[in-house]
């Protein structure tokens, strides 16, 4: 597994190279898209990106966890989490990249 991470700066640089916007406009565009996705998830909406996947939120109930070092039981509070389900097209692209 690679330790390489794609960052916001790299995304905006890719937009700059491929779309031809200025670097500032590219950075603003990436920020705007990410803000729209974040706001939709905060509002409980589902975000579907065709040929990529679906982001959604779900509520997890309170449960008992265990400290792996000491073995003591600790209550884990209920919380809202983000989940991502990759599209079939994305799954196939990733699988083909592993060959």
| Sequential pLDDT tens for the chain (99 residues) | 456 899 999 999 999 999 989 999 999 999 999 999 999 999 999 999 999 999 999 999 999 999 999 999 999 999 999 999 999 999 999 999 866
Q: Could you give the domains of the chain?
A: 8-97 (4.10.520.10)
Residue 80 confidence (pLDDT): 96
* DSSP structural state of residue 13: H
Phi-psi region of 70 (alpha: psi -120 to 50; beta: other; left: phi over 0): alpha
Task: Identify the three-state secondary structure at position 69.
Answer: coil
């Amino acid at each position: 597994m690679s330790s390489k991470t794609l960052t916001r700066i790299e995304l905006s640089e890719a937009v700059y190279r491929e779309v031809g916007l200025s670097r500032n406009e590219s950075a603003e565009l990436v920020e705007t898209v990410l803000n729209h996705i974040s706001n939709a998830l905060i509002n409980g909406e589902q975000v579907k990106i065709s040929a990529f996947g679906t982001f959604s939120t779900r509520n997890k109930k309170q449960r008992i966890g265990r400290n792996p070092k000491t073995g003591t039981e600790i209550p884990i509070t209920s919380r809202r989490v983000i989940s991502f389900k990759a599209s079939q097209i994305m799954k196939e692209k990733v699988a083909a990249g592993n060959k």
